[in-house]
Structure formats: structure tokens, C-alpha cells
Amino acid sequence: MNTRLGRRLQTLAAAEISLVLAIVILAGALIAFGAYIRSVSNELTGTLTQLQTSLARTSLPNAAAGGRFAASLLLGTQSEIVFLDATTRVTVYRRHRADPQPLVTVRGRGDNTGDPRTSGTFARIVVGLATAFGLQPLRARVGNVFVIVRSNDLALVSAARSFVLPLLVALAIAVASGFLIARALTRQALRPLEDVTAALERFASGDLTPHTIAVDTHHELGSLAAAYNGAIDQLERAFAVRDRANAGMRQFIADAGHQLRTPLTVVQGFIAILRRGGFENPDDRDHILDTMNDQSKIMASLIDKLILLERWESPQLAVPAVPIDVGTLVADLVAPIADAHPERRFEVSTQGGILAKIDPTEFGYVVTNLADNAVKYGRGEITVRVRSEDSIAVIEVADEGPGIPSTDAKRVFDRFYRGAQRDVPGSGLGLAIVKRAVERADGSIDLKTSPNGSRFIVHLPRA
């Protein structure tokens, strides 16, 4: 026990268990003493009966004659016989079983100094207990002589004293057993508490490795261990989320650096060429400036998208959404894209009256990015549909091929993921923006792809 609580509980349990054991031992000792007293009482009754039977056949002239007769009997050590007549008191008793003859003392009637008596606190306690257990002297009259048969106090106290040492040894064993039992029970009872304490101390020392604790559902403190294990599970999940976030952040920084490095390298290279004055031809200089301007726009667009995603991660900056006709909004957003690409056929099919609580600016990123991707990566006709399914507004943007490889389809919504078609201009942030905008509108987006084309399906709760 290393805790103060453990030591207190152990002391209390040891005291209670020792007390119970001591009570059991004392109760057993009293039962044994009671059995001994019953045997003494039986011996007294038998002695008196034998005397009455024997003396009834003869005439007992005086107490002295009674004493001589009693001395001839096989008298036990537990009995004491007193004969009283008008002038004489005769006491007969045996000190030890090995004595050849009982002791016979003759005195005046009122003189009892020769009786086997003992003194002291212990003797008084023993005699008192014997009386409480029903040990009483027996009396009878034979002729002119009174006969008293009672217990031998010397033998009674001696017999009781022989019980004392075993009783003390048994009590000592009870105390020791109580301490050992209390120690074992307290350790078992506080094991979950000690395990939890040890685990928390490991955490405090810097060891953050999660260690689960075995749980006994029948144990009183099993709920504590279960709660700790639940906290450990939460901690493990938090660590896993932290690790994924750190890994994602590292990947994000690496991807962002890579995306920015390419246009920046181009701009720095052309700046170096211009400083050397390597191009005297105005057309070459114009080409360089146009290229630098285009790369600057790419960097600016990339930075704007990163800022947009970061701003959308903050719930405090959420724009209050209002019910908007989704079909009308989608048709208005797709129209300029279709006009800008007359070589591609657009089929727009919308239903009126489908309302959803969305921010039109944020949802504009969804429609324009999906339509723009269909133009850049797809072939054939581009289909845009808006329909209603029960309480859900469904927006689909589909093309006719060549589809997205299955290895890329799992990661198309990740930031900076470009897939295999890296020859097409882009930053890899468009679909990440789409997914985040849909999530901010409490919706979801799915991708279904095959060699015959790809379909992006957006689900929004209807207003």
C-alpha cells in the first residue's frame, strides 16, 4: 500500500477482521468452558447421588463419620464434599488425581479455613462465569448431618488457567490473520485504483503511451477502470487525429510549396534574364512579361483558394444561409461557362421550386468548379441536372468520358491532389473547395465514375 487511503483502509479492515475472529474465538472458548462446567455439574450430581444411595443404608452418627466414608470413595478432583453436624465441619477433596487419598479436614462448624478456596481477580472472574453458566452447590440431609457437594474452586481455577495460554495464542493468531487477510483484501479491492494511479503517474512523468487496464465487471471499482480505459480510447483517437492532422499539415505545406515553387521559379528565371538584358527584341520581352503575369496570376489564384479554404474552416465566419431556388441558381451559373465553350454541348435540366438554405456565393464555387472540371477533363456532352428526391435536392454534373481512375477517385477531394492528368492546368484545390462548400451547406457529394464518364452528385437538404 503506497497510498494513505490504502493504509487507512488496511488498518480499518484489519481491525474489523481481527475483532470478528477474536469474537469467534472467545465465543468458542465460552462454549468450551460451558461444556466443561456441564461436566463438573454432572460430576457433582453423580457424587451426591452416590453419597445419598450409600448413606441411606446406614445410620450416619456425625460429620466425622461422613468424612471418613467419603474419603473411601473414588472422589474426582472437581468435587468438594462438606459434612456439617451440630459442632463439626468436615471437608473432603482431592488436590490431584495422582493423590492416593483425598484430603480430610476436621474443624469446628463455623470454621471454613480448611476448604479449598482461591483468591485474586482471575479466580473471581472464573467462579463468577461458572456461576453464570449454572454451576451451583448441591445440598442434602442424612440423619442429623447436612451434606454439601460443590465444585473444587482450586481445580476450577486451575483448569480455567490452562485455557488462558491457548486462548492468548489463538487471539494473537487472529490478529495476525486479520492483518494478512485485510492486506490481501485491500490490495484486491484497491487494485483498479492503484492501476489507474500508476497509469496517471506514467502520464505525469512524460510517458504518453496508452496502457489499458484489465476490467472486472464484478469489482466495486471496476467502473473506475472502465472509465479510465474509455478515456484512454478517447486519448488514442485524439492522438490518431492529431497524427493525421500533423501528417496532413506536412503534406499540405509540401504540396503548397510545390505548387508555388513552379510559377515562382519561372518568374525568378525571367527576372534574371531581363536583368542581363538578354532579349533586345520587344516581342521577346513582351512574351516574357506575359508569361510572368500569367504565373503571377496562378500564384495569386492559388493563394486566394488557400485563404478561402482557411476562412471556411472557421465556424465564426459562416454566412447566414437563406432559402434559394437551386434550379435557377444552377442554370444561371452554368450559362456563362457554356457560352465560353461553344465547342462543348451543355444540357441543363432543372426543376423549379426546389429550395435549399445555401449561401449563393459559396455554392457558386460548387457549380462552377464541377462544370469547369467537366470541360477540362471530360469529353462529349456535359449534363447538368437539378431534381428533388423527397426532402433532398440533388444536383448532378456529368460528362461522357474518359472517367477517373479508381486510384484517383478515392483522393480527388484531397487538397492539391491532381491525379494522372497533370498536363491540364490547375492547382488541385477545386474539388477540395467544392467538398468544403457542400459540407458548409449541410450536404454531401458523391462521385460515380466509369470509362464512359464521371458523375458528381450533390445532395442538399431542402428548405
The residue-averaged pLDDT of 147-159 equals 87
In the predicted structure, residue 366 carries a pLDDT above the cut 80: yes
pLDDT of residue 223: 65
Q: Do 151 and 281 reside in the same domain of the chain?
A: no
Q: Do 12 and 151 reside in the same domain of the chain?
A: yes
- The confidence band for 259, taking pLDDT boundaries of 50, 70 and 90, is low
User: Of the given ranges (145-149, 186-190, 290-294, 454-458), which has the lowest mean pLDDT?
Assistant: 186-190
Using CA atoms, how far apart are residues 43 and 94, in angstroms rounded to an integer?
Answer: 14
Q: Are 399 and 379 in contact (CB under 8 A)?
A: yes
pLDDT of residue 1: 44
Spatial neighbors of 288 by CB under 8 A, at least 6 apart, are 270, 273, 274, 279
- Tell me whether residue 398 is in a domain: yes
In the predicted structure, residue 282 carries a pLDDT above the cut 90: no
Across all residues in the chain, what is the average pLDDT? 80
pLDDT of residue 393: 92
Q: Do 22 and 158 reside in the same domain of the chain?
A: yes
Spatial neighbors of 116 by CB under 8 A, at least 6 apart, are 80, 91, 93, 95, 152, 153, 154, 155
- Tell me whether residue 124 is in a domain: yes
Task: Name the pTM for this structure.
Answer: 0.47
Which one-letter amino acid corresponds to residue 446?
Answer: D
pLDDT of residue 345: 92
118: which DSSP letter?
-
Q: Do 377 and 246 reside in the same domain of the chain?
A: no
Q: Do 20 and 118 reside in the same domain of the chain?
A: yes
pLDDT of residue 256: 62
The pLDDT tens digits of the residues spanning 347-364 come to 999 888 889 988 888 888
Using CA atoms, how far apart are residues 356 and 166, in angstroms rounded to an integer?
Answer: 92
- Tell me whether residue 62 is in a domain: yes
Question: Which of 162, 186, 213 finishes a domain?
Answer: 162
Range of the domain at 265: 222-312
Q: Do 390 and 326 reside in the same domain of the chain?
A: yes
The residue assigned the cell 480430610 is 104
- Tell me whether residue 277 is in a domain: yes
- The confidence band for 386, taking pLDDT boundaries of 50, 70 and 90, is very high
Counting every residue written for the chain, the total comes to: 463
Question: Which of 135, 162, 189 finishes a domain?
Answer: 162
The pLDDT tens digits of the residues spanning 64-107 come to 888 888 888 777 778 888 999 889 999 998 877 777 788 888 99
145: which DSSP letter?
E
- Tell me whether residue 101 is in a domain: yes
Q: Say which residue, 334 or 119, is predicted with more confidence.
A: 334
The number of beta carbons lying within 10 Å of the beta carbon of residue 58 is 11
What is each CA distance from 30 to 25, 137, 164, 193, in whole angstroms?
9, 21, 12, 42
Q: Are 382 and 344 in contact (CB under 8 A)?
A: yes
The residue-averaged pLDDT of 23-37 equals 89
In the predicted structure, residue 296 carries a pLDDT above the cut 50: yes
In the predicted structure, residue 168 carries a pLDDT above the cut 80: yes
CATH code of the domain containing 326: 3.30.565.10
- Tell me whether residue 440 is in a domain: yes
